[in-house]
């Protein structure tokens, strides 16, 4: 009887280690979900190959690439293989 009562008590009583373990698992899961990049990349290898050796002007109005980053100008974005929005 004592063993059954103890087992029943342990099932109903959530130990701190079990709670911490579940909490850590949830935190890691949320971190992995939020840190994942989009499956489709806007990087264009062909564009990169076309512009990698080109000299770009120093004109720097600032443009936003399809990756959301700001580049000095369209030529600079293209040198990184990124199209401008």
Looking at residue 62, what is its pLDDT? 94
- What is the band of 6 on the pLDDT scale with cuts at 50, 70, 90? low
Q: Rounded to whole angstroms, how far apart are CA atoms 69 and 28?
A: 27
In angstroms and rounded to an integer, the radius of gyration of the C-alpha atoms of the chain is 27
φ, ψ dihedrals at 82, nearest 5°? -115, 130
- Residues 14-40: pLDDT tens digits? 677 888 888 888 888 787 777 655 445
Q: Return the residue matching tokens 């600032």.
A: 62
CB atoms within 10 A of CB 73: 17
* Contact by Cβ (8 Å): 46, 56: no
Looking at residue 39, what is its pLDDT? 45
- Residues 45-80: pLDDT tens digits? 999 999 999 999 999 999 999 999 999 999 999 999
């Amino acid at each position: 009887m004592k063993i059954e009562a103890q087992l029943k008590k342990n099932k109903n009583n959530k130990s701190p280690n079990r709670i911490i373990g579940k909490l850590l698992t949830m935190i890691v899961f949320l971190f992995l979900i939020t840190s994942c990049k989009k499956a489709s990349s806007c990087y264009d290898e062909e564009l990169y190959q076309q512009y990698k050796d080109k000299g770009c002007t120093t004109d720097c109005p600032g443009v936003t690439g399809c990756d959301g980053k700001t580049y000095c100008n369209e030529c600079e974005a293209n040198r990184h293989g990124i199209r401008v929005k």
